[in-house]
Amino acid sequence: MLITEQLPQVALNKMNEIHNKEAEVINELYQAIEEKDVDKVDKLFKEFIKDVQEHFAYEQAQMEKYNFFAYPIHISEHDMILQQLSRLEKEWEKTKDINLIKAYLEGEFLPWIINHINTMDAVTAGYLAQFIKE
Ligand SMILES: [Fe+2]
Ligand SMILES: [Fe+2]
Protein backbone atom coordinates (compact mmCIF):
# COMPACT_ATOMS: atom_id res chain seq x y z
CA MET A 1 0.00 0.00 0.00
CA LEU A 2 1.25 3.45 -0.84
CA ILE A 3 -1.34 5.40 1.13
CA THR A 4 -1.55 3.82 4.57
CA GLU A 5 -3.05 6.72 6.49
CA GLN A 6 -6.27 8.56 5.81
CA LEU A 7 -5.79 11.60 3.60
CA PRO A 8 -6.42 14.99 5.24
CA GLN A 9 -10.13 15.77 5.64
CA VAL A 10 -11.82 18.93 4.37
CA ALA A 11 -15.17 20.61 5.17
CA LEU A 12 -17.16 18.89 2.40
CA ASN A 13 -17.98 15.17 2.62
CA LYS A 14 -18.36 14.84 -1.12
CA MET A 15 -14.75 15.99 -1.61
CA ASN A 16 -13.54 13.65 1.13
CA GLU A 17 -15.34 10.75 -0.57
CA ILE A 18 -13.65 11.59 -3.88
CA HIS A 19 -10.24 11.74 -2.17
CA ASN A 20 -10.79 8.48 -0.31
CA LYS A 21 -11.81 6.74 -3.51
CA GLU A 22 -8.69 8.09 -5.23
CA ALA A 23 -6.55 6.69 -2.42
CA GLU A 24 -8.13 3.27 -3.08
CA VAL A 25 -7.45 3.52 -6.82
CA ILE A 26 -3.83 4.50 -6.10
CA ASN A 27 -3.35 1.63 -3.67
CA GLU A 28 -4.72 -0.88 -6.18
CA LEU A 29 -2.38 0.49 -8.85
CA TYR A 30 0.52 0.39 -6.40
CA GLN A 31 -0.21 -3.24 -5.58
CA ALA A 32 -0.09 -4.16 -9.28
CA ILE A 33 3.24 -2.30 -9.48
CA GLU A 34 4.62 -4.33 -6.59
CA GLU A 35 3.38 -7.53 -8.28
CA LYS A 36 5.17 -6.34 -11.46
CA ASP A 37 2.04 -7.17 -13.44
CA VAL A 38 2.39 -5.01 -16.57
CA ASP A 39 -1.12 -5.66 -17.94
CA LYS A 40 -2.72 -4.89 -14.62
CA VAL A 41 -0.60 -1.75 -14.19
CA ASP A 42 -1.64 -0.66 -17.68
CA LYS A 43 -5.34 -1.07 -16.88
CA LEU A 44 -5.16 0.50 -13.42
CA PHE A 45 -2.93 3.38 -14.55
CA LYS A 46 -5.60 4.35 -17.10
CA GLU A 47 -8.27 4.08 -14.39
CA PHE A 48 -6.16 6.26 -12.12
CA ILE A 49 -5.83 8.98 -14.78
CA LYS A 50 -9.59 8.91 -15.42
CA ASP A 51 -10.24 9.13 -11.68
CA VAL A 52 -7.93 12.14 -11.32
CA GLN A 53 -9.65 13.86 -14.27
CA GLU A 54 -13.09 13.32 -12.70
CA HIS A 55 -11.83 14.42 -9.28
CA PHE A 56 -10.51 17.70 -10.65
CA ALA A 57 -13.55 18.24 -12.89
CA TYR A 58 -15.90 17.94 -9.91
CA GLU A 59 -13.99 20.52 -7.88
CA GLN A 60 -13.67 22.87 -10.82
CA ALA A 61 -17.40 22.69 -11.58
CA GLN A 62 -18.26 23.62 -7.97
CA MET A 63 -15.72 26.44 -7.91
CA GLU A 64 -17.15 27.83 -11.12
CA LYS A 65 -20.75 27.49 -9.96
CA TYR A 66 -20.12 29.33 -6.70
CA ASN A 67 -17.52 31.83 -7.96
CA PHE A 68 -14.66 30.71 -5.77
CA PHE A 69 -12.15 33.57 -5.52
CA ALA A 70 -8.98 31.45 -5.90
CA TYR A 71 -10.33 29.40 -8.81
CA PRO A 72 -7.42 30.24 -11.22
CA ILE A 73 -4.71 29.20 -8.73
CA HIS A 74 -6.53 26.00 -7.83
CA ILE A 75 -7.01 25.12 -11.50
CA SER A 76 -3.36 25.81 -12.32
CA GLU A 77 -2.31 23.24 -9.70
CA HIS A 78 -4.68 20.68 -11.25
CA ASP A 79 -3.43 21.50 -14.75
CA MET A 80 0.19 20.97 -13.72
CA ILE A 81 -0.66 17.44 -12.54
CA LEU A 82 -2.72 16.66 -15.66
CA GLN A 83 0.25 17.68 -17.82
CA GLN A 84 2.61 15.51 -15.78
CA LEU A 85 0.23 12.58 -16.12
CA SER A 86 -0.10 13.05 -19.85
CA ARG A 87 3.71 13.06 -20.23
CA LEU A 88 3.99 10.01 -18.00
CA GLU A 89 1.32 8.17 -19.98
CA LYS A 90 3.27 8.78 -23.21
CA GLU A 91 6.48 7.49 -21.59
CA TRP A 92 4.60 4.48 -20.25
CA GLU A 93 3.18 3.65 -23.69
CA LYS A 94 6.71 3.72 -25.12
CA THR A 95 8.59 1.89 -22.39
CA LYS A 96 6.10 -0.07 -20.20
CA ASP A 97 8.59 0.67 -17.43
CA ILE A 98 6.77 0.09 -14.15
CA ASN A 99 9.42 2.02 -12.23
CA LEU A 100 8.44 5.25 -14.00
CA ILE A 101 4.94 5.06 -12.53
CA LYS A 102 6.21 3.87 -9.15
CA ALA A 103 8.67 6.78 -8.89
CA TYR A 104 6.00 9.28 -9.97
CA LEU A 105 3.45 8.08 -7.40
CA GLU A 106 5.96 7.99 -4.56
CA GLY A 107 8.02 11.06 -5.37
CA GLU A 108 5.52 13.43 -6.97
CA PHE A 109 1.85 12.54 -6.73
CA LEU A 110 1.59 11.45 -3.09
CA PRO A 111 3.41 14.45 -1.57
CA TRP A 112 1.53 16.72 -3.97
CA ILE A 113 -1.95 15.43 -3.15
CA ILE A 114 -1.40 15.66 0.62
CA ASN A 115 -0.15 19.23 0.29
CA HIS A 116 -2.88 20.14 -2.19
CA ILE A 117 -5.68 18.82 0.05
CA ASN A 118 -4.21 20.62 3.06
CA THR A 119 -4.04 23.94 1.21
CA MET A 120 -6.12 24.47 -1.97
CA ASP A 121 -8.82 21.87 -1.30
CA ALA A 122 -9.17 22.82 2.38
CA VAL A 123 -9.73 26.49 1.55
CA THR A 124 -12.02 25.61 -1.36
CA ALA A 125 -14.12 23.22 0.74
CA GLY A 126 -14.41 25.83 3.50
CA TYR A 127 -15.76 28.30 0.98
CA LEU A 128 -18.09 25.85 -0.78
CA ALA A 129 -19.52 24.60 2.51
CA GLN A 130 -21.35 27.94 2.81
CA PHE A 131 -23.38 27.05 -0.27
CA ILE A 132 -23.52 23.27 -0.45
CA LYS A 133 -25.61 21.75 2.32
CA GLU A 134 -24.96 18.04 2.79
FE1 LIG B 1 -9.20 17.36 -4.40
FE1 LIG C 1 -8.08 20.31 -5.91
Domains of the chain: 13-128 (1.20.120.50)
> Phi and psi dihedrals of 122, rounded to 5?
-65, -45
Measured in angstroms, how far is the CA atom of residue 48 from the centroid of ligand 1? 14
Per-residue model confidence (pLDDT) at position 79: 98
Distance 30 CA to ligand 2 centre (A): 22
What is the reported pLDDT for 134?
85
pLDDT at residue 119, as a whole number: 98
Dist. CA 100 → ligand 2 center (Å) = 24
Q: How many CB atoms lie within 10 A of CB 14?
A: 15
How far apart (Å, rounded) are the C-alpha atoms in residues 20 and 40?
A: 21
Reported residue count of the chain is 134
Of 88, 132, 130, give the one whose Cα is nearest residue 107: 88
* C-alpha of residue 41 to centroid of ligand 1, in Å: 23
**Residue numbers of the chain with a pLDDT score lower than 70:** none
| Residue-level pLDDT at 103 | 98
Q: What is the pTM of this model?
A: 0.97
Tell me, what's the pLDDT at 95? 98
